[in-house]
Amino acid sequence: MSLLQYGFVQNALLAGLLLSIASGIIGSLIVVKRDTLLIGGISHASFGGLGLFYYLGLNPLLGAFSVALLSGAVIGLSSEKKLHAHNALISVIWAFGMAIGIIFITITPGFAPNLLTYLFGDILTVSNVDILYIAIYDALLLLMIFLFFKPLLVYLFDKEFAALHGIRVGLYRLFFYLFISVAIVMMIRSVGIILVLALLTIPPLIAMPFCKRFPCIMAAAVVLCLLIFVGGFFIAYYSNLPTGPIIIVLGTFLLFLSKAICAVRKKNS
C-alpha cells in the first residue's frame, strides 16, 4: 500500500495507536466512574484558553492545555460529596470556557482559519513533537496504572472504605482529574473539542457488557479505539471526508452494532 509510505500517514497512524492507549484507559475509568459529563466540560472549557492564547498570538494548544489543567485541578479539589454540585460545577466551567473563547476569537483581528481544526480535529496535522508528547503521557499513565491500579479501583468503587484503609482519597481524586484533563487536550488535536467526548466513551461502552473485570474493559477499549481510529482514517481518506467526524460515526455505528449483539445474546439465553 503506497499510502503508508507518506510521512503524515505514518504519523497519523502512530498517533492513533498512542492515543488509543490513553483513550482506552482514561475512557474506561471515566465511564465506570459515570463521570462522562466531565469530558465535555474540560474539553469545552479548554476552548477559553485556546481563544485567549490565539488573541495573544501564542500557541493556542498551549492555552487549551493550561486551561484544561486548571479546570481539572478545580474539579479535582472541589468536594465530591454531592453529585449535583459536581455536575453543576462542570456545566459552569463548560459554558464559561466556551464563552471566553468565543469572545477572544471575536476581538482578534482577522479571520480565524484554524478554528475548525480545533473544534473537529485533524489527525493528519499531527507532528512528530505531538507524538513524542503523547508517548510520554502514555508511559506515565501506564506506570501509574501499574503501580496504583488496586488502590485506584478501591477509590473508584468505595471511597469510604478506601479512606478507612489509609488511601489518600483527595490525592487520588486530584491526580485522576489531572490525568483526564491532559488526555482530553491530547485528543483535541485528532478529533477536536466537540468530538472528544465520543472517542473517550464509545470504546469502553462497547466493551463493558462483554467484560467482567476492569483490566479486561481497559484492554478491550484500547483495541476498539485503535480499530475505530484506523478504520475511520482509511474510510475518511478514500471518501475524501474529514477524519474526526468519520471516526466518531464509525464508533457510534460499532456501539449500536454491539448493543444489537447484546440484545440478541440476551434473547437467546
Q: Binding residues for another protein, per CB under 8 A?
A: 32, 34, 147-148, 150-151, 153-154, 156-158, 160-167, 208, 211-214, 216-217
Residue closer to another protein, measured from CB, 153 or 223 = 153
Residue closer to another protein, measured from CB, 35 or 138 = 35
Shortest Å, Cβ 253 to another protein: 24
CA-closest candidate to residue 237, choices 9, 2, 7, 1: 9
Q: What secondary structure does DSSP assign to 94-123, as a single string?
A: HHHHHHHHHHHHHHSSS--TTHHHHHH--G
Shortest Å, Cβ 263 to another protein: 18
**CA 146, CA 217: separation in Å to the nearest integer?**
15
Residue closer to another protein, measured from CB, 74 or 156 = 156
**CA 234, CA 247: separation in Å to the nearest integer?**
10
Buried b (16+ CB within 10 A) or exposed e, 102-124: eebbeeeeeeeeebebbebbbbb
Shortest Å, Cβ 173 to another protein: 15
Residue closer to another protein, measured from CB, 69 or 152 = 152
**CA 37, CA 31: separation in Å to the nearest integer?**
10
**CA 265, CA 63: separation in Å to the nearest integer?**
47
The residue written with cell numbers 513524542 in the block is 132
Shortest Å, Cβ 200 to another protein: 17
Shortest Å, Cβ 122 to another protein: 34
Residue closer to another protein, measured from CB, 160 or 267 = 160
